[in-house]
Structure 1
């Protein structure tokens, strides 16, 4: 057991830093949307420095535990494009092609089991977030899986993905949820509201 604890700690640190890097980059892509919602996220405040900070944080995750970091990053990359499979990306190919490339690359670099965990776990986290934001995204016109495929359908998909995550890497799955809670607290604390609660309520009703 003594040999397992350092491995568990490294996996948790890698999950924490890889998750932070993914969250920063995701927020950087959603800067305009977050500002419209009256939220000044950490990515908004970092401005152009967001990218180098994200790379530095991801570098720490890679040094700590490369397999975990790559599974999180490539899994997030693939899952993030599920709602727009036919969209043409800057690479001039449809999103589904990059999804296949990301998953294949993950399998080659970390193995099929860790790759499956990365896709499954990131699906659970991403789709849960979409379900929580379903009403706000519906009002703002933002597209997510819960809106596109339906609440019940996505709930079943989350349960299947969770079973796959637990089957492939039960320890990483447990650590992933702990890291998710920690990161949610950190990013909530560092996010400033630029409108009052009453104004936000009015915007939600609108």
Structure 2
């Protein structure tokens, strides 16, 4: 019984650390857009240390549960490229090509089930986030899947991806959802506290 409880709780902590790392990296990249939209951004608070904290949290997450943490991080990278498939990056590859590299690395290191679970879960979170941020992203000119394809479509595909992630690995689904929810709630509370 205790080993199962420990595994469940450690998975939540690993996912929370990974989600916080992704949030920091995302806020670092979106700092200018968030300033235009009037949204509080973690990169404003952590400034030059933002990416260092992100790396520290990712390392901590990987130390607890490397396959899940790193597949979720790769999933976030892949999903993050969905709005920039044709853009060229410093690697001289476009977003689509970089996504293919990330998918290949993930499949080789973690297997198809873990990678598909991670991509499905992260894509669901991204779709729900875009649904919530549709108005502010429209004001700032930031790319948003809900604005591009429709809010209802975004919700439906998000629900489908959530169910797909649950079907692919129901053992990991609940602690992954819990870890993500913790960071989302902390982010919301932290943002409101900073604004006050």
Give the structure-1-normalised TM-score. Answer: 0.88
Q: Which moved more, 1:107-116 or 1:3-12?
A: 3-12
Residue of structure 1 equivalent to 2:93: 93
1:60 aligns with 60
Q: Quick check: 2:15–2:176 contact (8 Å CA) kept in 1?
A: yes
Mark the CA change 1:39 to 1:148 in structure 2 (over 3 Å): closer, same or farther.
closer
Check conservation: 2:33, 2:141, Cα contact below 8 A: no
| Partners of 2:157 and 2:185 in 1: CA distance | 26
Higher helix share: 2
Indicate if the aligned counterparts of 1:24 and 1:42 stay in contact, CA closer than 8 A: yes
Q: Is the 8 A contact 1:38 1:193 kept in 2?
A: no
Write the deviation string for residues 102-121 of structure 1: whole angstroms up to 9, x where unpaired. Answer: 11111111111100011000
Match of 2:105? Answer: 105
- Hey, what does 2:137 align to over in structure 1? 137
Counterpart in the other structure of 1:84: 84
Name whichever of 180-189 and 126-135 sits farther off: 180-189
Runs of 4 or more off by more than 4 Å in structure 1?
none
Paired residues of 1:41 and 1:190 also in contact (CA < 8 A): no
Give the distance between the partners of 1:33 and 1:78, measured in 2 at CA: 21
Q: Provide the rounded CA distance (Å) in 2 between the counterparts of 1:117 and 1:176.
A: 10
Number of residue pairs matched by the alignment = 194
Name 1:74's counterpart in structure 2.
74
Q: Distance in 1 between matches of 2:132 and 2:10?
A: 30
**TM superposition shift of 1:37:** 2.6
Where does the alignment leave 5 or more consecutive residues of structure 1 unmatched? Answer: 195-206
**Counterpart contact for 1:17–1:61, Cα < 8 Å:** yes
Would the aligned equivalents of 1:41 and 1:187 in 2 still touch at CA under 8 Å? no
Q: Which blocks of at least 5 consecutive residues in structure 2 are unaligned?
A: none
| Higher Cα radius of gyration | 1
Deviation of 1:98 after TM superposition, in Å, equals 0.8
| Corresponding residue for residue 22 of structure 1 | 22
Question: How does 1:138-177 map onto structure 2 within 5 Å?
Answer: 138-177=138-177
